[in-house]
Structure 1
């Protein structure tokens, strides 16, 4: 992929346009050529791109785009450049453009493509992976300005701008007593829906992406298209779990479901009870998860003596009775228990988890339901947890996400699912590692990849390994698209080539998991 990128830039440099060609391009996007210096026109690349974005759309509006555009000298630059959950994602782009509409997103893509400027795309900035939603010395397109929300009371659908977080959506829909199948934490961004996604509502309604009725996508050539089951159907299939390989998504339209009070909250246990907890998780999958109103999100901190378990029961009509679905967890001694009735799901989603240290990363694997395997994972990763403990601020947390057969069934009942998840009870196991110093980045990478290799060696030997990798939790060294199966993977590659034949989103967008298709350059 690196060679592909270099050949792309080399070809662009060889065919650098003349000043007159540049002027014609500027006129085509309604920018006065006289506003761009001859030096920037000749330089091309990011110097040209940032200069043009500074002035767009000055030719047809007395105001420039300065309210949407900042450079490294701007007072809010660091706040914008570091608007990420984890410091591992901090970079220093040459300029940051926050287009307020799909049309202006299209202009940014056209300018970057014309000048061969590498760029990154950020919606919520939740991924901790370095370079996934940020970039050094080039263009960052931030979707933070696209935050419109519209609820259609007749169709019971909501149109969401990609600059929103899920908390914004939940708060907006609460007065209508409606809810979407969205992120489990309100701080997560909309890019969840281009990686399949997982929701507290998935047990009954499937993956978040399967509940998206349409995507508004800006393609590499600047076209703005609607991808749905009836329009650009192959793009609709692919973008649901294909990351940033096809274009920039600016809006989604989702179905909504009735909502009311919910039961839930967080229970905190000592990590001394981790074996009982992992065994209880398997028991919950066998029996409690059959109740599709139930959901769970656990974090098992192996070296900080803490298990934080978020429980959600999407039916507030439980009065003083505890939901029977979570019976396996009631017998484990709790250190803290904040569960109770919440007026709306928005209240539950607002519960935060402490991040404590500034740097985080993760990796994921899948194994089929097996109580012994769930418990054995604790021993398998013990030495790696100890190695992380020796780093400053080192924290080793496993996130065992139980996936039910009903989640898969509900998803495929809605539409073709590009993730092609095995229709069986399974665990999407994510290893989360936190630490303090950038000087330990390489050490963390080595430890987490070795830990994951050890787990997969064991699950394969026990016959419970599944090749699926949840894209939203995958490590940069992993290849989640391969885990979708060859048929789905081939459809994603074909859709990328059809909608982006020049490979702009393979070559110029340097972050994210790539499809590694054979583009002609």
Structure 2
């Protein structure tokens, strides 16, 4: 059995044993048995409790509900409240934090049936539901030669946008949440409202990167779509001899690139197997994406370094988000945990964080199967685009700066004591790298104990909005999510 996280698992009270089934019975009466599944042997139930981080697979809801409308969600929330049950909201299930999209002995709202999409050619606005994954959304809008700002991997769900959402298009258009124009939200009370610049503008502000479904359940997104044509894109894979040159090239790109059509992710991968002094346990995989058929010299710092493998060429956006191979999200399922750091280029923290991570990787062989350190630039063009659309809940300071995403995948069958020990050590390693003052941590990549909302300059405002829309702490007490304390 996969190890659990005792501190978080203890959140589920004994009373939930009765409260969950009571809520499920009420929901079944109101919505009908076709939308509610309680049997753990049901194929749909089994599929609903599969997560990208397999640590979450261990939790068993009293029932899974498949709402098809905002009205269905309203009925579910009111039944959950009446029964005093715990609950969770699952879109793609990519968040690895315990109880953020999983629940034990409570009600799981699986949004996978809410996948309606539309496009208005007169306004170029697009709508999509909270169900499904971004790959399906991109495929739909490709028929109109349009796309939306969303995940960089096709298999990631729509909840990513509520946490900010970094895209290959972000240097041009801001984060995914910056493209929001209107949100349909079911409040903790069950009331269905519209959040926009004109209607509930405080809720609209908070929902753009300020804590996900912390204020209500988003049941429909209306966003500004973007043109989608040919992309020059692909992966360059480098091994040991080139790694220091590639790391230097990443730093230079973060600090000096000014072309908003050029986007990268730099991923430094370490395997948990011994390197045998041959450095066969590590590689750097560059994701290079240019919005257009000719990147010019935007990526010359990378292309001038001879890679082991080069897959660059002309691609559609659907091909771009399936790099390096299709089904990347599904294939990478495992005992995955995220952490995040934030740094400014040129201040030495870049090199310091990398050295600390490398040292930890070498001294902890056998305690992980994979480590990944991902460099995610936040250029000034991105922060300018965000501010031009009203800004988001992060109130992003001017770029350039960058987020570091730390991924650790631990071996299956690890004892609870060993799992907790390696996670504590990894946490301390990330913390020792420090963070730049005045910059926000990225919710999409944060661990629950990093309290990312507290790094936002608008944190006090978000606390007030949370109290306004969840006055009796229903969501705060009955489902997982970021701390507003």
Query: Is the TM-score greater than 0.5?
Result: yes
Match in the other structure for 1:248: 217
Quote how far apart the aligned CAs of 1:348 are. Answer: 0.9
Contact 1:95 1:139 survives alignment (8 Å)? yes
* TM-score between both structures, scaled by the size of structure 2: 0.89
Segments of 5+ residues of structure 2 without an aligned counterpart are 1-9, 272-280
The residue number in structure 2 matching 1:441 is 419
* Whole-Å separation in 2 of the counterparts to 1:70 and 1:366: 42
| Aligned twin of 2:276 | none
Q: Which moved more, 1:377-386 or 1:201-210?
A: 377-386
User: 1:498 is matched with which residue?
Assistant: 468
TM-score by length of 1: 0.84
| 1:450 equivalenced with 2:450 (yes/no) | no
Shift of 1:506: 0.6
Corresponding residue for residue 281 of structure 1: 250
Q: Once the two structures are superposed, what CA deviation does each residue of 1:31-57 show, in whole Å capped at 9, x if it has no partner? A: xxxxxxxxx9xx961121111222323
Q: Distance in 1 between matches of 2:18 and 2:388?
A: 49
Residues of 1 paired with 2:476 and 2:332: CA distance?
35
SS at match of 1:513: coil
Q: Alpha-carbon deviation of 1:468?
A: 1.6
Query: Is this contact kept in 1: 2:147–2:226, CA < 8 A?
Result: yes
Aligned to 1:185: 153
Aligned partner (choices 336, 361, 372) of residue 309 of structure 2: 336
* 3-state SS in 2 of match to 1:389: coil
Distance change >3 Å, CA 272–CA 121, structure 1 → 2: farther
Residue in 2 aligned with 1:323?
296
1:448-473 per-position Cα deviation (integer Å, ceiling 9, x unaligned):
211112211xx6xxxx5554210110
Q: Note closer, same or farther for the CA distance 1:373–1:478 as it changes in structure 2 (3 Å cut).
A: closer
Q: Which gives a bigger RCO, structure 1 or 2 (Cα 8 Å, sep 6+)?
A: 2
- Kindly indicate whether the alpha-carbon contact (under 8 Å) linking 1:156 and 1:256 is maintained by their aligned counterparts in 2: yes
Of 25, 28, 39, the residue aligned with 1:51 is: 25
From 378, 399, 403, the counterpart of 2:374: 399
Q: CA RMSD in A?
A: 2.5
After superposition, where does 1:112-131 map in structure 2 within 5 Å? 112-131=80-99
Corresponding position of 1:358: 334
**1:46 touches 1:115 (CA, 8 Å); kept in 2?**
yes
Largest Rg, 1 or 2: 1
Note if 1:107 corresponds to 2:78.
Answer: no
Superposed, which structure 2 residues align to 1:140-289 within 5 Å?
A: 140-241=108-209, 242-287=211-256, 289=257
What displacement does 1:382 show? Answer: 2.3
Shift of 1:293: 0.4
Q: Secondary structure of 1:434's partner?
A: strand
Contact kept? 2:396, 2:439, Cα under 8 Å: no
Taking a change above 3 Å as real, the CA distance of residues 356 and 191 of structure 1, as seen in their structure-2 partners, is closer
Query: CA 1:434 to 1:147, structure 2 compared with 1: closer, same or farther past 3 Å?
Result: same
Cα distance between partner residues in 1 of 2:192 and 2:332: 41
* Equivalence for 1:61: none
